[in-house]
Chains A and B, each alone.
Chain A
Amino acid sequence: MHQLSAIELRDKFLNKEVSALQIVDYFLKRIDSYDGQIGAFLTVYHDQAREHAKKLDDKLAKGEPLGKLAGIPIAIKDNIHVKGELSTCASQFLTNFKAPFDSTVVKLLKAEDAVIIGKTNLDEFAMGSSTENSSVQLTRNPWNLTCAPGGSSGGSAAAVAARLVPLALGSDTGGSIRQPASLCGVVGYKPTYGRVSRFGLVAFGSSLDQIGPFATNTADAALVMEVIGGHCDRDSTSIPHKRETYLEKFDKTLEGTTIGVPFEFLKDLKGDSKQAFEQSLETFKEKGASIVEVDLSTLKYSIAVYYILATAEASTNLARFDGVRYGIRAPDAETLDQVYDRSKEIGFGHEVKRRIMLGTFVLSTGYQDAYYKKAQKVRTLMIEQYKKAFETCDLIAMPVATSGAFKIGSKKDPLEMYLEDIYTISINLAGLPAVSVPNGFTSHSLPLGLQLIGPQKEDVRVLSMAHAFESETSFNKLPPQFED
């Protein structure tokens, strides 16, 4: 059953070939059997998921209408709220924090009869590219258990890759959906900024964060987008557009399309990743697409700009974790300053502290002009450059990451880890939609991903063309063989 797509599962349920309870029990059993090796899940909702499945079976039996995601189990990154359940963000600070409300995405998933099956691991507060910054547990890459799954949505990516669940949600601030999708050989989609509501997502970099789906294929990812990709009046940055239909616009043709490639920016790409990327461009050409070079020279500043803007926003977003209202409070604190200092000291991990300090610094009087304001200007230039590039092409293609999955513990220097997101970060800075689709393997049989980037609001185009590419290849058909 885990070899089926989400859409196939749903159809089997609706055709009464299999009950929702059977589906849920099947995946719960897979999680129970294999997640010990993977470590993707922080919480599994055994009882709630089974109860929900029984209700769906009742609805079907009574002939009541069912939603687009009927009976499909879905996992949620643990920085997205499910009412009444823990939202730890993989931080010691929130080990006791139960979400007081449903995020908009979870509300929408429930309304379409998806079954929320549990919460997945992440780098603490989504800060990282390997999920090693989780303060709770390690998550392992199903393709090689000594490798990291990427991050920060490593739990969601690994869970889908290991077929412990057909769908998952992640969040992407600088590549946190696309990079782990690439490293785990699944489809990961980062929508246009504002397409999916951030209400109920614990903020990291508010002007960069987007929630998006993981799936084993583009059609399943598109199905999730049809459900979660709509205007929300509780998020002021939400685009005032109705939900769009994706699947009926999928036409599998690349004939006559133009793919832009920033060859100059990609000149350092080498090895397996380079080969796979060039092979993908060949595929596009064979199917009638033309390749043009686009100038994205400002992208070389992506990492510098991102680590100023994202940390600036994060330093204020995380200021609320102070031990006063929720989360942990240092038990030995006696004065107000001690409550603040000691709670943060024991609540936050190293990377989170590093980013709060960095963000506080770049916003300080005397430094703000040199860092924060200058970074904003470069961000504007990037947006302009992307706009100009899209005048000559339909989509832009880039690799997702410089290489396949890396060994757990191999990247000790934070800067080296930051470079993992060199190809993904600018997309968040410009608020563009982008997908990671499997496009090959390394010589060590680790998956690689192709990134397809669209102009703002062209989410349908991105997923549709990714679907066409996927139809010409078979990299997503082969699940990892990790089971003992």
Chain B
Amino acid sequence: MANKDKWETIIGLEIHSELNTKSKLFSAAPNRFGDEPNTNITEVCTGMPGALPVLNKEAVRKAVQLGCALEAEVAKFSKFDRKSYFYPDSPRNFQITQFDQPIILGGHVVAEVEGEEKTFEIDRVHLEDDAGMLKHFSGFAGVDYNRAGVPLVEIVSKPCIHSPKEAVAYAMAIKAILQYLDASDCNMEEGSLRFDANISVRLKGEKGFRNKAEIKNMNSFSNMQLALESEIKRQIKLYEDNPDTDPNELMGQATYRWDPDRKETVLMRRKEHADDYRYFPEPDLVPIVLTDAYIEEIRSSLPELPLQRERRYVSELQLAPDAAFVLTSDKPLADYFEEALKICHRPRQMCNWLIVEFAGRFKDTGTHLTTSGIPAEHVGKLVQMIDAGKITGRIAKSVADDMVASPGKDPELIVAENPDYQPMDDNEALEGIVDKVLSEHAQSVEDFRNGKDKAFSFLVGQIMKATRGKASPETVNQMLKAKISQ
């Protein structure tokens, strides 16, 4: 039986994010996803002889914005290198990347993990161009170079992540920053945000690192968590089942792929010897030289960042920090939240409706509240109706179901059209129900009088049940208190 407490996990994440520039990193070809194959290409994207790369200034600007947002050092001198490997998706058979002098050095992000604020250190961020994509047909394969040359930033964390939950929180925080900067579409399904993890375990107190596994193909946060959890279990089991074998022999350096169907990591290739990419400076490009004024101008014009927004929500709107983190980590959702607050300024309730109630209703549907067609105004109205006592919380949940079923339908209309959703404002009828419940549960009344608070809640519950949730809990409370204390 694995003793998890004996082990600690070390994770480093490499996040590749496609920058949403108008054109590609080294050519004027459009940077656009989903078009017909090989339509967004120039002679640079296909590696034609005689073609030369010219650096896209917008990509540099976005990388510098990211560096400033990560509170990292923006290198005033950085350069590009050629990384050689042969594959048909690589049009020149070398990638243009930044090897030893990246544009961004260091930096950190703050993320909430289980109610605790944690700081994660970043090693570096560099610019590079994306490869094309292979498409397999029966009997042959083709290459689509539309993606070839799309600008990427690779954000490399230090090995400072110690659990799958931390990894997810870190990745969410990075994604949020990219979204807030409008630097990337961060669309994981389209591959504009991709994660690779390096993961190893060691006994607590052990010095140095054991061999690590590299895991690819974790294309969602939930997959990342599952993949890392599964890999940790696999590694611990391997070491515990073979206590007398040299750990380095047990665990060779290897690359794995997460298989979401089998829910396990699958070996892609072993790395007996390190790949030799023969890096050397790209002679077709001049180094990137940035002035203090340029960096300062970008730093001073940064938009509000997720952490600032989270802190604002905690201090000004009294949200709980973990709720504020979840909300602000999703920029469209946080924007949606602020829209909804304009209708009804009940921040804590509104936040709960967004990150618990509606999030739950959209889970595993492939869509999100912000893209569902339900306007923020409608969620605002829903909370407003609860707040004004027009509907009870219980009815509100049903109204929310209906809103999800018919996106765009005004919740006020939903309530007006459904007799079951009418609040019970007939106090005489309610009084009858209260009296009936009291007479049927005399023992509970007695218990309450003897100081058992639970008995009161029980009675409220019985009354709500009898009114099918339509009575205002406040009115029920008042009426019940008045009757019992008579």
- Residues of the A chain whose Cβ atoms lie less than 8 Å from the Cβ of B91: 320, 325
- Asked, given contacts A236-B54, A325-B91, whether A363 binds B49 with beta carbons under 8 Å apart, the answer is no
- Residues of the B chain whose Cβ atoms lie less than 8 Å from the Cβ of A326: 48-49
- Cβ of A97 within 8 Å of any chain B Cβ, yes or no, is yes
Q: Is the CB of B54 within 8 A of A201?
A: no
Q: Is the CB of A316 within 8 A of B49?
A: no
* A417 CB, min distance to chain B CBs, angstroms: 24
Q: Is the CB of B143 within 8 A of A312?
A: no
- Residues of the B chain whose Cβ atoms lie less than 8 Å from the Cβ of A478: none
- Cβ of A99 within 8 Å of any chain B Cβ, yes or no, is yes
- Residues of the A chain whose Cβ atoms lie less than 8 Å from the Cβ of B50: 80-81, 87, 99, 101, 103, 199-203
- Cβ of A198 within 8 Å of any chain B Cβ, yes or no, is yes
Q: Is the CB of A322 within 8 A of B55?
A: no
Please name 18 pairs of A and B residues whose Cβ atoms are closer than 8 Å in the assembled complex, sorted by A.
Answer: A101-B48, A103-B50, A199-B51, A199-B52, A203-B284, A206-B284, A235-B54, A236-B285, A237-B284, A237-B285, A316-B82, A316-B84, A319-B93, A320-B49, A321-B49, A324-B88, A360-B278, A364-B276
- Cβ of B283 within 8 Å of any chain A Cβ, yes or no, is yes
Q: Is the CB of A325 within 8 A of B54?
A: no
- Cβ of A340 within 8 Å of any chain B Cβ, yes or no, is yes
- Cβ of A290 within 8 Å of any chain B Cβ, yes or no, is no
- Cβ of B286 within 8 Å of any chain A Cβ, yes or no, is yes
Q: Is the CB of B280 within 8 A of A372?
A: yes
* A240 CB, min distance to chain B CBs, angstroms: 11
Known: A235-B52, A316-B94. 11 other contacts (CB 8 A): A97-B49, A100-B43, A101-B48, A199-B51, A200-B50, A233-B54, A325-B46, A363-B278, A363-B279, A365-B276, A365-B278
B265-288: CB near A (< 8 Å → 1, else 0) gives: 000000000101011100111100
Nearest to A208 among chain B residues (CB) is B283
Nearest to B54 among chain A residues (CB) is A236
Interface-central residue, A201, A316, A365, by most chain B CB under 10 Å: A316
Nearest to B47 among chain A residues (CB) is A320
- Residues of the A chain whose Cβ atoms lie less than 8 Å from the Cβ of B143: 324
Q: In the bound complex, how far is the Cα of B249 from the Cα of A240, in angstroms?
A: 57
Q: In the bound complex, how far is the Cα of B48 from the Cα of A34, in angstroms?
A: 34
Q: In the bound complex, how far is the Cα of B43 from the Cα of A442, in angstroms?
A: 47
Q: Is the CB of B48 within 8 A of A100?
A: yes
- Cβ of B33 within 8 Å of any chain A Cβ, yes or no, is no
Q: In the bound complex, how far is the Cα of B143 from the Cα of A453, in angstroms?
A: 47
- Residues of the B chain whose Cβ atoms lie less than 8 Å from the Cβ of A80: 50
Q: In the bound complex, how far is the Cα of B88 from the Cα of A326, in angstroms?
A: 12
Q: In the bound complex, how far is the Cα of B88 from the Cα of A451, in angstroms?
A: 44
Q: In the bound complex, how far is the Cα of B48 from the Cα of A38, in angstroms?
A: 31
- Residues of the A chain whose Cβ atoms lie less than 8 Å from the Cβ of B285: 236-237
Q: Is the CB of B278 within 8 A of A236?
A: no
A277-293: CB near B (< 8 Å → 1, else 0) gives: 00000000000000000
Interface-central residue, A89, A101, A233, by most chain B CB under 10 Å: A101
- Cβ of A336 within 8 Å of any chain B Cβ, yes or no, is yes
- Contact partner, B284, options A81, A89, A236, A315, Cβ 8 Å: A236
Q: In the bound complex, how far is the Cα of B82 from the Cα of A321, in angstroms?
A: 16
Among A189-204, those with CB < 8 Å from B are 198-203
Q: Is the CB of B280 within 8 A of A312?
A: yes
Q: Is the CB of B286 within 8 A of A236?
A: yes
Number of interface residues of A (CB under 8 A): 43
Q: In the bound complex, how far is the Cα of B94 from the Cα of A206, in angstroms?
A: 14
- Cβ of A368 within 8 Å of any chain B Cβ, yes or no, is yes
Q: Is the CB of B274 within 8 A of A202?
A: no
Q: In the bound complex, how far is the Cα of B54 from the Cα of A321, in angstroms?
A: 21
- Cβ of A313 within 8 Å of any chain B Cβ, yes or no, is yes
* B177 CB, min distance to chain A CBs, angstroms: 30
Among B381-395, those with CB < 8 Å from A are none
- B residues with a Cβ closer than 8 A to A are 43, 46-55, 82, 84, 86, 88, 91-94, 143, 274, 276, 278-280, 283-286
- Residues of the A chain whose Cβ atoms lie less than 8 Å from the Cβ of B52: 198-199, 234-236
Nearest to A206 among chain B residues (CB) is B283
- Residues of the A chain whose Cβ atoms lie less than 8 Å from the Cβ of B93: 316, 319-320, 322
- Cβ of A207 within 8 Å of any chain B Cβ, yes or no, is yes
Interface-central residue, B51, B82, B280, B286, by most chain A CB under 10 Å: B280
Nearest to A80 among chain B residues (CB) is B50
Q: In the bound complex, how far is the Cα of B48 from the Cα of A99, in angstroms?
A: 9
Nearest to A321 among chain B residues (CB) is B49
Q: Is the CB of A202 within 8 A of B49?
A: yes
- Residues of the A chain whose Cβ atoms lie less than 8 Å from the Cβ of B47: 320, 325
- Residues of the B chain whose Cβ atoms lie less than 8 Å from the Cβ of A100: 43, 48
Q: Is the CB of B94 within 8 A of A101?
A: no
- Residues of the A chain whose Cβ atoms lie less than 8 Å from the Cβ of B279: 363
Q: In the bound complex, how far is the Cα of B286 from the Cα of A340, in angstroms?
A: 31
Nearest to A360 among chain B residues (CB) is B278
* A434 CB, min distance to chain B CBs, angstroms: 20
- Asked, given contacts A316-B84, A336-B88, whether A203 binds B55 with beta carbons under 8 Å apart, the answer is no
* A172 CB, min distance to chain B CBs, angstroms: 16
Q: In the bound complex, how far is the Cα of B57 from the Cα of A233, in angstroms?
A: 13
- Residues of the B chain whose Cβ atoms lie less than 8 Å from the Cβ of A313: 283
Nearest to A359 among chain B residues (CB) is B278
A337-366: CB near B (< 8 Å → 1, else 0) gives: 000100000000000000000001001110
